Amino acid sequence: MREKQQVNIIGSGVIGLTTAVLLSKNGYKVSIYTEKLAQNTTSAVAAAIWFPYNAEPKEKVSKWSAFSYNYYQELANTPNSGVKFVPLTIIEKDIKDCWWLDAIPNKNYKKINDTDLPKDCKLGFEILVPFIESAVFLTFLENELKKFEGKIMHQKINTFDDLDKTIPIVNCSGLGAIELCNDAELFPVKGQIVTVAKQTNIQSVILNYPVNKTGEELSYIVVRNNDIVLGGTAINNDFNTEPNANISQKIINRCKKIAPNIKDTTIIQEKVGLRPKRTSIRLEKESAIIHNYGHGGAGFTVSWGCANAVLKLLMKKE
């Protein structure tokens, strides 16, 4: 029997773990080296909904998102994956901004009648999307990796020289690549969310445009199994991960505008995460290293498509 080829992955967020699982399923022996374990990463802060938001380049993001959408369809039938399909309302300003419609397989969406739109909204779609309960999904991925005898080493990589360069390395370090790759193109986009109690008759809604001039204020509602996530913010180049009570209140007020039927807005939790944003997701080979980072606000949405692109780059080498 041919010995499995070893691959070392840096990072244990959604990108590192999905890459690790997909490579393992395709016959590779994977070890992850990670500074933070999955539940302490940005990925654990996300709600998360499949939606191509704040990630570039659009054409590739659309392709990777479509691949992931199909992959999540399989996972929705897998017990304990934390994945299911839910209806999502997307509100837009202009049909020109709806490039993401191309990413939905089989045109599985419908335009919402004007009379059914939230107040002051003019264009909307209802789509069936993968909803990924992030904490459950990340644990599921860790367990999948274990089934393939993959390893997770809780260890920071200070330089790529810390790892054996004769073994392929996949760099899924998210924002960590600022330091690791000295990447000046990578920056944080800070997102704050609040969680409130689960209530009946509330559906997930994304207002897919910023509601203020600076583009820092967003409005979205994600209904999860045990609570509701209200978001959010998108503040470039802010590394501060302390939640701000004033911002939480503004988020609640904005969400109540699009969903006045939210009654209980008692805050259960406030959280901040830093989206690893780049002018363009870095997915390329550089000698022994395949980079896979900079997925901005769409890490869960593009993850499986990007993992598949990494697989193709690895196989090309052989």
Ligand X SMILES: Cc1cc2nc3c(=O)[nH]c(=O)nc-3n(C[C@H](O)[C@H](O)[C@H](O)COP(=O)(O)OP(=O)(O)OC[C@H]3O[C@@H](n4cnc5c(N)ncnc54)[C@H](O)[C@@H]3O)c2cc1C
Under rule CB under 6 A, residue 130 binds ligand X = no
Based on CB atoms, which residue is closest to ligand X, 262 or 298? Answer: 298
Under rule CB under 6 A, residue 124 binds ligand X = no
> What CA–CA distance (Å, rounded) separates 193 from 78?
28
Under rule CB under 6 A, residue 20 binds ligand X = no
Give the shortest CB-270-to-ligand X separation in angstroms: 11
Query: Pairing relation of β-strands 5-10 and 169-171?
Result: parallel
Give the contact letters, 228-267, x = binds to ligand X (CB under 6 A), - = no.
---xx-----------------------------------
Give the shortest CB-92-to-ligand X separation in angstroms: 17
Under rule CB under 6 A, residue 305 binds ligand X = no
Under rule CB under 6 A, residue 145 binds ligand X = no
Reading the block at residue 252, the tokens are: 């609640």
Residue pair 109/127 in contact (Cβ under 8 Å)? The answer is yes
Under rule CB under 6 A, residue 289 binds ligand X = no
Tallying the residues shown for the chain, one arrives at 318
| Among 7, 9, 15, 259, contact with ligand X (rule: CB under 6 A) | 15
Q: Residue 14: name the closest of 317, 299, 236 by CA.
A: 299
Under rule CB under 6 A, residue 299 binds ligand X = yes
123: exposed, middle or buried (Cβ count in 10 Å: 0-12, 13-18, 19+): middle
Per the DSSP assignment, residues forming a β-bridge with 283 are 292
Reading the block at residue 183, the tokens are: 């990447």
153 backbone dihedrals φ, ψ, rounded to 5°: -100, 120
Candidates 106-114, 122-130, 143-151, 299-307; binding stretch for ligand X (CB under 6 A):
299-307
Under rule CB under 6 A, residue 45 binds ligand X = yes
Q: Residue 141: name the closest of 263, 9, 244 by CA.
A: 9
| Among 23, 30, 33, 168, contact with ligand X (rule: CB under 6 A) | 33
> What CA–CA distance (Å, rounded) separates 110 from 100?
13
Candidates 23-31, 80-88, 112-120, 172-180; binding stretch for ligand X (CB under 6 A):
172-180
3-state secondary structure of 264: coil
Based on CB atoms, which residue is closest to ligand X, 124 or 294? Answer: 294
> What CA–CA distance (Å, rounded) separates 119 from 260?
10
For residue 49, the 8-state DSSP code is B
Based on CB atoms, which residue is closest to ligand X, 97 or 116? Answer: 97
Angle between the N-to-C axes of helices 58-75 and 299-317, in degrees from 0 to 180, rounded to the nearest 10: 100
Based on CB atoms, which residue is closest to ligand X, 150 or 176? Answer: 176
| Among 23, 30, 48, 196, contact with ligand X (rule: CB under 6 A) | 48
Under rule CB under 6 A, residue 205 binds ligand X = no
Residues 53-82 that bind ligand X (CB under 6 A): none
| Among 5, 31, 35, 252, contact with ligand X (rule: CB under 6 A) | 35
| Among 7, 8, 9, 12, contact with ligand X (rule: CB under 6 A) | 12
- Close Cβ partners of 81 (under 8 Å, ≥ 6 residues apart): 75, 136, 137, 140
Based on CB atoms, which residue is closest to ligand X, 28 or 72? Answer: 72
For residue 131, the 8-state DSSP code is E
Under rule CB under 6 A, residue 193 binds ligand X = yes
- Close Cβ partners of 21 (under 8 Å, ≥ 6 residues apart): 141, 144, 145, 148, 150, 307
User: Using CB under 6 A as the criterion, which residues of the chain lie in contact with ligand X when the complex forms?
Assistant: 10-16, 33-36, 41-43, 45-49, 51, 156-157, 172-176, 180, 191, 193, 231-232, 273, 275-276, 293, 295-301
